[in-house]
Amino acid sequence: MSLSSPRSLVFTLILLAIALPVGAQGKRPSPPLDTTRARDTLEAVVIRATRCGGTAPTSQSTLDRATIERTYAGQDAPLALQGLTGVTAASDAGTFSGYSSLRLRGIDQTRLAISVDGVPLNDPEDQVLYFSNVPDFMNSMQSVRVQRGVGASAFGPAGFAGSLSFESLSLATTPAFRELQLTSGSWGTNRASVEAATGLQRGFAAYARLSGQRTDGYRERSGNQARSAFVSAGWFGARDAVKFTGFAGQSKMQLAYYAASEDELRVNRRFNPMSPDERDDFWQAMASVQHTRTFGASAALTTTVYRNAAGGAFDVAAGDLLNFNLDHGWVGLLSTLTWRARSTDFAAGIHLSDYARDHHLKVRPDLETRLYDNTGFKQEQSGFVKASRQFGALELNGDLQLRRAAFRYQPSPGTPIPGPTEDAMRDLSVDWRFVNPKLGVTWQARRDLALFASVGQASREPTRTDLLAGADDIDATAAAELLPFTRVRPERLTDLELGARLTRGTTTLQVNAFAMAFRDEIAPIGAIAITGSPLRRNVDRSSRVGVEVEGTMALSPSLVIRANAMAMRARIAEYQDEGSGITYRDVRPVLTPAVLANVQAIWQPRTGWETILSVRHVGDAPLANDGNAALVTPAFTMVDGDLSVPIGRQRLRVQGLNLLDTTAYAAGYTDGTTRYLFPVAARTWLATVQLTF
């Protein structure tokens, strides 16, 4: 069945806009909130309710608008974030865009809570956002908050390893502007992006962006042609605000999700084992309408309705050319209430969502016959309550999330599904319930020094890929091995964070120690499915213990140094390889480096001129959970540079990536004997012209 299309999405948006209540007027007129700051507060209620604040007892980093404008050139969001503490990123194409991925403390992005303006973006089945579907996304962001560890409750899946909280461009505070960005560079990379904002005009404001980009990719046959749009508009009254946000993207890529072997890379560092016929074509669109109502000076209620839809197909050569098709529709409602009573802040939120995605397979050239046609359904209901109270220099935080998620698999018509129970269809459904508590304390020991500690628990259900062991369909043969779905257990984390923040003049320093204890972690095993998804399974006990440091220091008015580092000991207590039956103990988990470090020097020799030199070091990371020191991605150190100069009202930025032409591999996998690696691009140049008109 067809669940979504661009036309039905537009129709749904119109219905949502009509149906959304604006809120009744009170008996007494409220005094006008006529400052830009007040209007900005109305716009950002959900962000403040779901993000950890700057004084919260957790480890976090923020990429602000100034930094985004300084370094962004159209790359996928994971690649734009890889200089932050604890973050590693990879692109199967080697650079700029493609199927990019992000890991935090070595944990993959399916276990991160990803949101924009509080609206969850994790696909409910895969629990990931495919950033390739929404190219140039970062160009429309005001900020990105990367929170590490359990952190604060948000909407959607629990922040198991952490969260990525995107905030779209602020309508209330962004002045009117019009800008054209043109980027060109190595590996056939080109981008054009035009954006404009009206500024706040009599309570109304709007912003829009339209982008197109293409690249040949660093690896052979890994090109991408993409286009995207982003629109937001809002009305800000005395006590009410209504905001619409929508974005859409389409990406046509040559596939490169299979890595190359070491022997192949020795001959050709750009080698891609996938054929020219293996391609994909996907689109994605999301829209939300948000209404905020304030009550006096201390309370606000925000309600958001949203719809997310995506569809497309990809071809995989497996003897025949298989044509895998996906099509999903997803609607949800979330609401937050925030209020302040004397020295106590409260926040409460609820989230309801309903999702369905069709999966069907064809074989080219016959695109009329479906070999299978199954559907996955998922529903979620969740709620949270938070409170923080000030006791002099001491601030206490409490946070409780309750969450239910239910998944149901509808097999292809006519598929006989034998099962261990009399009612075999019962084995095709699974229902999870989670309770996720957090407690924290922050002590302002001195005016310039704060100490914090927090402990929290988070639980997370398996993805569809986990339940189906990498398959895209269940037939009668596979049912005996995969059903019931309760064979794959939810994973649970207990996370302890201890840290200190120092702010002294222009110098800032944050030090954080963490201890993460997992039960039933759904850990990658170092292999991938035919569709490119990493294969995972439960391991009984595992842990990650480490220290993170980040800081900023102004050596002079024109020279600023920023640096961060992470040192971590990650271990799986016991792992049994299913193929050999061998049991390994106290081994490092897949793609988890023990050391990460970033140093950045920002020099502004004169007004408007800026030079940035960045050094990134990534330690080696295992490709298998067997402790084999030979099956790792090699450690590497990479140097990037950036020069930005004004030309009248315009600006020219030249970026050099991997300036020393280092041989580096960002990710990979193994068959137990051979390393298959994804290379990072050789020396790369990008030039961006920003034209203001």
Residues 6+ apart with CB under 8 A from 274: 221, 254, 255, 256, 257, 258, 317
Query: Phi/psi at 138 (nearest 5 deg)?
Result: -65, -25
Return d(Cα 569, Cα 566) in angstroms, integer.
10
Beta bridge partner(s), residue 197: 177, 207
* The pair of three-digit structure tokens given for residue 366, joined into one six-digit string: 């016959």
Helix (H) or strand (E) holding 66: helix 65-71
Contact 59, 147 (CB under 8 A): yes
Q: Sketch the domain layout of the chain as residue ranges.
A: 6-542+559-692
Report the residue count for the chain. Answer: 693
Unique residue bearing structure tokens 């998620």: 405
Kindly state the DSSP code that residue 216 receives in the 8-state scheme: -
Residue 89 CB neighbour total at 10 angstroms:
22
Query: Phi/psi at 49 (nearest 5 deg)?
Result: -75, -30
Q: Sign of dihedral through CA atoms 209, 215, 218, 221? A: positive
Report the pLDDT value the prediction gives residue 154, as an integer from 0 to 100: 85
Residue 512 CA: distances (Å) to CA of 9, 443, 597: 44, 15, 15
* 532 Ramachandran zone, left/alpha/beta (phi>0; psi -120 to 50): left
Classify 50 as helix, strand or coil: helix
Cα 624 vs. chain centroid, distance in angstroms? 24
Q: Average pLDDT by consecutive 10-residue portion of the chain (693 residues)?
A: 39 32 32 49 71 75 91 92 95 90 94 93 93 94 94 83 92 94 97 96 96 96 96 93 96 96 97 96 97 90 96 95 96 94 91 97 96 97 94 94 96 77 73 96 95 95 95 90 93 97 95 97 91 91 98 96 98 91 95 98 94 98 95 97 94 96 96 95 97 91
* The pair of three-digit structure tokens given for residue 546, joined into one six-digit string: 């480490």
* The pair of three-digit structure tokens given for residue 121, joined into one six-digit string: 């973006």
Closest CA to 483 of 467, 504, 503: 467
Closest CA to 665 of 92, 77, 82: 92
Helix (H) or strand (E) holding 37: helix 36-43
Return d(Cα 143, Cα 516) in angstroms, integer.
27
Strands 112-116 and 162-168: parallel
Return d(Cα 90, Cα 104) in angstroms, integer.
12
Kindly state the DSSP code that residue 121 receives in the 8-state scheme: -
CATH code at 6-542+559-692:
2.40.170.20
Return d(Cα 70, Cα 79) in angstroms, integer.
14
- Report the b/e string of 160-169 with b at 16+ CB within 10 A: bbbbbbbbbb
Query: Phi/psi at 252 (nearest 5 deg)?
Result: -120, 115
* The pair of three-digit structure tokens given for residue 657, joined into one six-digit string: 């990536």
Residue 23 CB neighbour total at 10 angstroms:
17
User: Measured between alpha carbons, how far apart are the two ends of the chain, in Å?
Assistant: 47
Return d(Cα 461, Cα 404) in angstroms, integer.
10
Beta bridge partner(s), residue 632: 622
* The pair of three-digit structure tokens given for residue 19, joined into one six-digit string: 């149906």
Kindly state the DSSP code that residue 366 receives in the 8-state scheme: B
Query: Phi/psi at 63 (nearest 5 deg)?
Result: -100, 110
Report the pLDDT value the prediction gives residue 70, as an integer from 0 to 100: 87
The pTM score is 0.91
Strands 684-692 and 177-185: antiparallel
